[in-house]
Each structure stands twice: as C-alpha cells, then as structure tokens.
Chain A
Amino acid sequence: MAKPQIVKFKFPESLEEMPLGPSAAAGILTEPNAGWRVQSPVIEHPKCTKCLLCWVLCPEGVIGKENEQLEIDMNYCKGCGLCAHECPKDAITMVQEGEADDQ
C-alpha cells in the first residue's frame, strides 16, 4: 500500500521511554478521520476516464490510482465533495452517509 496505515500508538509509560526533546517519529497515524463525513463519494467506474483530476485535487489524498480502477480510502475521506463537484464526467456522486450501506 502506498498510503500510510493506522498504527496503534503506545504512549510512554515511564520517564525512560520518553523521547529526548519534543520530538516524534515521522508518519504516525493513530486514528481515522471517517467520523467527520456526512456524505460519501461513490465512483461510477464505467463513466470514469481516469483523467486523475480528482486524484490531483483531493485535499486528503484518499483516492488511489495504483489499481485498474480508482479507489477511495474511506478511513480518511472527509466527504468534502470536491471530487464530485470537479469531475468532468460527473462520474462521482455524493451519497448521504448511511444510505449507501442500505443498498
């Protein structure tokens, strides 16, 4: 996977485990941002031409282009709707959170 994954963070338990100075290792993800989302994007793959405009514009970088079809990492999508608004082929629609699961 090209995207960083969530890791379980172990808080320092004693003084010996504390890092020296106010520092931390790079690339630590401890929690998803999915709870922010009210609407979620759904890609209609037959309409998608893989122009990658959504991939470029996504502020979160949750759209993945490494496979045949574009994929969205729902752990970090905040549901801003930018991709759906900008898609030149209207291949992305925003669905109210919860409704997509009912289908």
Chain B
Amino acid sequence: MVKVKNLTDKEYLYGHKACPGCGLGTIGRLALKILGERTIVALPASCMSTVTTQYPQMNYSVPSLTMAFAGTGAVLTGMSAGLKAQGVTDVHVLGLAGDGGTADIGLQALSGAVERGDDFIYICYDNEAYMNTGVQRSSLTPIGANTTNSPSGTASYGEKKPKKNLFEIMIAHRIPYAATASSAYPYDFMNKMEKTKSLRGPKFIHIMCPCPTGWGFASDLTVEIGKLAVETGMWYLAEYENGKVKMNVIPKTLKPVEEYLIKQRRFRHLNEDTIKLIREHRDSEWRIIRERWVLSNC
C-alpha cells in the first residue's frame, strides 16, 4: 500500500499546458512519483505529448521521447531492449498514450510488444475521444456521446457503437498484469502503479481521465464525474493477475445512469429512448462482469 506522506515531494511533471482541471496531470505526476527518477517516458502524438513538450519548454524532469502515433508499443520494446543490452536493470520504461493512440492506431504495436513479453509499463489514459485534435470519436467513445464526427441532431443521437473493451483484449494476451483505474480514485491508481514496479514483463493500466473540455463540464468537477462513472457502472475498477480478475469496487446498487449523463454537455441531447439504450448496454455489461468475475471468485 502506498502511503501518501512518504511520497516524494519532487515533481517530475510540472508546469504543463493541459486544460485546467484535466485529470491527465494527476495521472502523469502520480505515475512518475511512484516510479521515481529512473524512468524513461515514451509519448505518442496525444494530449500528453502536446501539453508537455512545447518548445522551448520541457515539462518532464525525466528522459522522454515523442514518437509517431502508432509506435508506442514498438518504441517501448526498443527502449527495454536497449536497457537490457546495456545491462541496466533499475530503469522503468513507461508508455503514456491516449485512447486513440492505444485502441485504434497503436493497437497492433501494443499487441506485438505484449506478445513479445518485453519489460514495460503502458498507461492508456482514456478521455474517450481524440481530444487533442478537437474531439473526434475513437473506438473507446461510449454510446450516445456527441463528438465532432459523431454529431447529434435530428437524424442521429451521437456515437452509435459502444466502447471497445480494451481490458479484455489485454487479458486475451495473458499479460502478467493488467488493470483498469480512474483518475478520480488516485489511491487505487497509485497502488496499481506500485504493483507494476515489482513485476517483470508487460504491464498495462487503462485509466479513465475525464476531460472538462471535450466532455463539457466545469473544471472543478473532474473527480466528481470520474467517481460518478464508477458509481453508475459506466466504468469499473478491476485488475488481472495470475489468470484471475479481481474487481476493486463492486457497487451494491448502481446509481441511475442519468446522474452521470446529465452533468456532461456531450450527452445533453439524449432523450428517454436513448438513455434507455445506454442503461440497457450498461446492464448487459454488468451482467457479464458479475457472471465472469464476481460470482466465479466467490
């Protein structure tokens, strides 16, 4: 368990240009606090690389590399191979990629790197669209969300396809460690990061990162929205280790989805029928989660 009082005061990610209230800063700085100074960061094109590497500013105090959109997995392989060749064993290799850079564009590179079993930590921070380029849908955009290329209007209720399950894709690789997290649950995230430090091989964390600009809510509500996502069952906290999935938070009763949806501009257009569609989708997802992961572990 991570004790906050013992965490380092040193900030390895500081003075970045992310929108006020963005959960991305929390994720980056806490991850680097846990891993420490001996870390190399790999950044594909994403919000994370855009806001932290604006010349002449360089907001990381650790070595970082910005590379092509699709190449995160391949670069992580290269970094860990380079360290191995030099006989360096105390350096962590961390990839920080967005949802599009992981689930759409970078998926085959990530899949290859996980399959090769290289030693790295991959964090996919999921703000549920290509936020950096102006809110375009990705395969992790949830059903019903309004984005610039899944606009809502008289003929459409926004994004029509549900969110892809990246966590299960990673489990299918029989990866040593995979987890989902949320920037609204920082202690849970830090404990998961701490776990990745001691394990060898590929480690994957899929973390939800509410986006005030793209989702449309006030900058001080980032944590509230992130918590509501978990409480309403639109997101879940789980970890996969030794062939077993453990649910970290199992809400006794899920809150109504409206509580989560109504606070965000991207869901403002939804009516009774479309909210029903979202509710049914959530319920079917949770039926699967309960059957596969909750009841089987009892």
User: What residues of chain A have their CB less than 8 Å away from a CB belonging to chain B?
Assistant: 2-4, 9, 11, 24-33, 36, 52, 55-61, 64-66, 76, 78-82, 84-86, 94
Contact = CB atoms under 8 A, between A and B. Distances in A.
Given A2-B9, A56-B4, A61 B25 contact: yes
B17 interface: yes
A26 B60 contact: yes
A61 B14 contact: yes
Interface residues of B, number: 41
Nearest to A79: B20
B4 A76 contact: no
Interface of B: 4-5, 8-11, 13-18, 20-26, 29-30, 55-64, 186-187, 212, 218-224
A26 B15 CA distance: 13
Contact of A33 (B15, B63, B187): B15
Contacts of A9: 56
Given A29-B15, A59-B26, A66-B9, A82 B21 contact: yes
B222 A82 contact: yes
8 contacts: A2-B8, A2-B10, A28-B57, A29-B57, A59-B24, A76-B15, A81-B220, A82-B223
A82 B18 CA distance: 14
Given A4-B11, A61-B29, A82-B223, A52 B58 contact: no
A78 B24 CA distance: 14
B186 A56 contact: yes
A11 B187 CA distance: 41
B25 A59 contact: yes
Contacts of A66: 9
